[in-house]
Homo-oligomer: A and B are copies of this chain.
């Protein structure tokens, strides 16, 4: 029935004061070789583990970062998370991982948990794009880096990929394949990712001399495969004249769409061309290997974390940065038929 072992018990065992133990833990250089060894042995013998809450309470903030993504089930975000964790743990930070599951309510709830835990900083892929959420955090002196979300404002860091350019790349590819009528399968427009990719798509249309009526929009509630299937069914039901090509705001959506199309006996890309976004690992292995728009996912997480830690480290004068990567088109089989597509 060993009582909880704290810095005090360690001190007693090593024959020093609690303050010295604390010094061994935090500024080992200030303590004499011999005593340090004694303390360290006592720590091992007692199996002491520092009480993080007490440290946090005393310091006013923890050594934990909060990472909030839109959807943990999306390989895109787990890749980002890998990048975040790698850097964070390298620097001695732990990561509190949470998913807003594309719901404003869950986002707020999770941010409250972050706040209660007094996380040192937050990496946020916001659900809405108003920036209000981030502002509220900054008011509380919590550094925030926007993740996969650009910002025009100079008072905060952000790391993002140019989704307008990406949308343009995708649709240009479809148009180059010969498509003249399109469908855009997308999640809710409050998601900046969707809105920007749509803008890019429209831009590509315009550049090709087509009006926006050439692209039918098929909005669904979430950015996952299930919603993709729903979208495809809706497309099939509402009219036989299928579009020449479909642009999905997301690879998950695209995989769902693809599945339903194939089940309905529709050939991809011969009957309908298809392109997704994110280039998740599974896209290359799909029934018809999926063309997509690749982003430097892992890098996104790394860079964002580095910026955040730099901002947390008040010693260094930190200049806010808005990093913007360029996406890259990955052409596989789904986007244009071997013949060059319908014309």
* Stretch of A49-57, A177-185, A241-249 at the chain-chain interface: A49-57
Tell me if A205 is interfacial: C-beta within 8 Å of chain B: no
Question: In whole angstroms, how far apart are the Cα atoms of A183 and B225 in the complex?
Answer: 31
| A45 touches B (CB below 8 Å) | no
Residues of B within 8 A of A225 (CB): 281-282, 285
Is B287 a contact partner of A53 (Cβ separation < 8 A)?
no
Contacts of A118 in B (CB 8 A): 51-53
Per-residue CB proximity of A106-136 to B under 8 Å, as 1/0? 1001001101111000000000000000000
Q: How far is the CB of A50 from chain B (nearest CB, A)?
A: 6
Partner of A94, one of B78, B99, B113: B113
Within 8 A of B (CB), among A66-108: 72-73, 75, 78-79, 81-82, 85, 89, 94-99, 106
- Nearest residue (CB) in B for A225 is B281
Chain A contact-residue range equals: 35 or more
A259 at the interface (CB under 8 A from B): yes
Taking the complex as formed, is A342 at the interface, i.e. its CB lies under 8 A from any CB of chain B?
Answer: no
Nearest-neighbour CB distance to chain B for A67, whole angstroms, equals 9
List B contacts of A259 (CB < 8 A): 284-285
Contact: A258 with B285, CB < 8 Å? yes
A31 on the B face (CB < 8 A): no
The residues of B that contact A174 with a CB separation of less than 8 Å are none
Contact check, A49 vs B285: say whether CB atoms are below 8 A apart. Answer: no
Contact flag A81-B85 (CB < 8 Å), given A57-B51, A96-B96 = no
User: Are B53 and A62 interface neighbours, CB within 8 A?
Assistant: yes
B282 near A52: Cβ-Cβ < 8 Å: no
**Cβ B73 vs Cβ A73 within 8 A:** no
CB proximity to B under 8 Å, residues A265-294: 281-282, 284-289
Q: Is the CB of A116 within 8 A of B78?
A: no
A239 near B: Cβ within 8 Å? no
8 Å CB contact of A49 from B54, B56, B115 = B115
Kindly state the separation between the CA atoms of A281 and B54 in the bound complex, as whole angstroms.
Answer: 43
Q: How far is the CA of A284 from the CA of B262 in the complex (A)?
A: 12
Chain B contacts of A73 at CB under 8 A? 75, 78-79, 82
A118 to B89, CA, bound (A): 19
Residues from chain B with a CB closer than 8 A to the CB of A116 are 49-52
Choose one: B60, B89, B285; the contact of A287 (CB below 8 Å).
B285
Distance of A2 from chain B, by nearest CB (Å): 9
| CB of A255 within 8 Å of the partner chain | yes
Contact A57 B53, beta carbon cutoff 8 Å = yes
Q: Which residues of B contact A54 (CB under 8 A)?
A: 53, 57
Q: Provide the residues of chain B in CB contact with A117, threshold 8 Å.
A: 52-53, 64, 94
Chosen A-B contacts, 23 in total, with CB atoms closer than 8 Å, are: A4-B60, A53-B56, A53-B117, A53-B118, A54-B57, A57-B57, A64-B117, A72-B72, A72-B78, A73-B78, A73-B79, A85-B99, A94-B113, A96-B96, A225-B281, A255-B282, A255-B285, A256-B285, A259-B284, A259-B285, A285-B286, A285-B287, A286-B286
Closest 6 pairs (CB-CB, A-B): A52-B116, A53-B56, A97-B97, A53-B53, A53-B57, A282-B282
